[in-house]
Every structure is written in C-alpha cells, then in structure tokens.
A = this chain, B = another copy of it.
C-alpha cells in the first residue's frame, strides 16, 4: 500500500512493465486474460500512473487551458457570464471526452503574461480564450511563439490557423427581421452592437437585407448604435420615446440590450408586445424570466463550443481538423412579440 509504481504492478501481475504500459494505453496486443489480470492488480492497489511523470517523459500535458478574461471597461465577464457560462461547461466536458483535463484561469487583460506562462511551463498543450475584447495583439504573439489557441468571438479576429466557430450572423439577423416582417411589422428598428465588431456589422447587414427584400429602406432614425450593453437598451428606448418616435418593433443585437429596452419600456408604461415587439439575440438564461419573457434568436453556443474544442484538440494532436461548420441562430418564441395591429393605411395581418 505504500509507494506503488508501474514496476510493482508488473511484478505483482507477473508481467513486464511494457505490458502494464500497453494495458494503460489500451493497446490491442495484450491477451484479454493478461489484460484483466493487470487491471485487477491495479485496482486492488489503487494504482494510477503518476500524471507528472507521464507529462514529463512524454512531453505532453494532456491538458488544455481555458482563459476567461475579465474584460475591463465595457463588458464585465465572470465565470457566471450569461453568454459564456454554458460554453465553459461544454468545453470542459468535451475536452474530458477527448482525453484532456482543463486548467481554468481567470485573467485580467492587463496581466496577460500568465497565459504565456502556462504554455512555457508546458502545463498545457493548447488553450481557449474567452473574451469580448479585441485580442488581436495577444493572438499574434501566440502565433509567433507557436502556441495553439482557440477563440470564440469572431468579432475581431479571423485567421485560418486559429479555430473560431463561425456563426452566420447575417443570416441569423435576417431571420429575426423576417419574423417581425411576417408578423406584419413594417416599422422595425434595430439596436446594433459595437460597430468595430464584425459580428455587430453582420447583424446590421442581415436586418437591412431583410427589410429591403420587402421593399423597405431602413431609415437612419430606425438604427440605434449601441455597444452590446444593457444600458444601451435603456438609452435607445429613452431617446426614441423622447422624440415621440418609438418603432413598432425592435431587433436587439443581443439579449443584454433587449433587457435594458424591456426595463425602460416597462418603466415608461409602454406595453410589450402590445405597443412594441422586441426580439433579442443569444438566448441567455435570463430571457425566460424577463417581463415579458423574451423572444430571441438562440445562438447554439454549446454546439459551437464542442466544435472549437474538436478543432483545437485536432490541432494539438496534429491531425486533420474536422470539417468547418456554419452555425445559425434559431428563433425561440416567447412573449415579447405580437402581430402588428392595423393602423393608418397599413394592411391587416393575421386572424
């Protein structure tokens, strides 16, 4: 019961160390009977190979890093971040399935060195970075050093050698706008995200395309530029309300902004969905608890996470990466949208 190593197991099972190792690595060339015997001995003695020794001699950590960056000014990102929470869980689980443990760190953007440390210390074979910020400088440094990394938000980065799951934001936003159009709405506003962000740009394009398909040219007054924060939603609504110019339907480029809009609307006594329909984007956990529960475009975050994990592991193992996938958000209907009510000369819809 004292110190057990693979040598002891070999002796006790009456086989060579090599055989013990084959059993550990599930090699085929071991007779079932021998295999069982070795396994039995290992279990009896609670033997499991020392991971540090393994890492040291094989030069492989079988560990991935997961870096959650605490984005500073605009977005605060915690492990309980509503968007990234499920992604974090999915990555960890998927890596485990693929034989990797996951070392999680929360990182300040001002102290990004500890990320590089983990690579240099050979604590990890690769890493995922989860962040809303523009990480291009960091990623470039990593590329130079040959450190393997996967990302999530393609808002700022797009490089063939860096796995990033691709969401078809334009199409998804188009689908959201079409939904509103099919409800009979013609006066549809949009609340955009940070326009330096590729994702935000694409969602705006999708909105514009959908309206144009119906021969509607989106007026400048219908486009409100935000930064993906809840506060933007509040401000947008208040500005429209102050101008007496609230649209009849509102597409928010993420759920957080929709929450802000909903709050401001309800605070001003404007009824959702009777007076205005609201659609969000993401489908965060909170969306089922808002008032009214938010209709939103669900981003398949878990599938996307599994996909990056698969890509990064393939990269680390120098295998062919899985085929690229194109993800699309799907409509989750709740109670924040209603058919347009007939007014002025608008044609009536429904019923």
List B contacts of A101 (CB < 8 A).
103, 105, 118, 123
Chain B residue contacts of A86, Cβ below 8 A: 78-80
* CB contact list, A247-268 vs B, under 8 A: 259, 266
List the B residue with the shortest CB-CB distance to A301.
Answer: B80
Copies in the complex: 2
Known: A102-B103, A291-B291. A120 touches B88 (CB 8 A): no
Is A51 at the interface (CB under 8 A from chain B)? yes
Q: Is residue A33 within 8 Å, beta carbon to beta carbon, of the partner chain?
A: no
- Contact across chains for A52 and B55 when beta carbons are under 8 A apart: yes
Decide if A326 is an interface residue (CB 8 Å cutoff).
no
**Cβ B289 vs Cβ A259 within 8 A:** yes
Contact residue among B80, B120, B291 (Cβ-Cβ distance under 8 Å from A89): B80
Task: Determine if A346 is an interface residue (Cβ-Cβ < 8 Å).
Answer: no
B56 contacts A52, C-beta separation under 8 Å? yes
Residues of B within 8 A of A79 (CB): 79, 85-86, 88-89, 92
Whether A89 contacts B106 by the Cβ 8 Å rule is: yes
Query: Is B102 touching A104 in the complex (CB atoms < 8 A)?
Result: yes
Bound-state CA distance A123–B103 (Å) is 11
Which of A13-21, A42-50, A208-216 interfaces with chain B?
A42-50
Chain A 223-256: CB-based contact to B (< 8 A → 1; otherwise 0): 0000000000000000000000000000000000
**A259 proximity list for chain B (CB < 8 A):** 289
On chain B, the residues within 8 Å of A80 by CB distance are: 80, 82, 85-86, 88-89, 285
Main DSSP-derived SS at the A contact region: mixed
From B53, B121, B291, give the contact of A56 (CB < 8 A).
B53
A100 to chain B, nearest CB (A): 11
User: Does A286 sit within 8 A of B, measured CB to CB?
Assistant: yes
A198 to B103, CA, bound (A): 33
Is A117 an interface residue when CB atoms closer than 8 A count as contact?
A: yes
Q: Residues of B contacting A93 with CB < 8 Å?
A: 106
**Assembly CA distance A93 to B79 (angstroms):** 10
A80 to B68, alpha carbons, bound, how many Å?
A: 14
A residues 148-204 near B (Cβ < 8 Å) are none
Q: Please, could you name 17 A-B residue pairs with CB atoms under 8 Å apart, sorted by A?
A: A48-B117, A52-B52, A53-B56, A55-B55, A78-B89, A80-B285, A89-B106, A92-B105, A93-B106, A96-B105, A101-B103, A101-B105, A101-B123, A102-B105, A103-B104, A289-B290, A290-B291
Residues on A lying within 8 angstroms of B by beta carbon are 46-53, 55-56, 61, 63, 66, 68, 78-80, 82, 85-86, 88-89, 92-93, 96, 101-106, 114, 117-118, 120-123, 145, 259, 266, 285-286, 289-291
Q: What 11 additional pairs, Cβ within 8 angstroms, besides A49-B121, A56-B56?
A: A48-B117, A51-B122, A51-B123, A52-B53, A52-B123, A80-B285, A85-B85, A93-B106, A96-B114, A289-B289, A290-B291
Top 9 nearest A-B pairs (CB, nearest first) are A80-B85, A291-B291, A79-B89, A52-B55, A48-B120, A52-B56, A51-B121, A51-B123, A104-B104
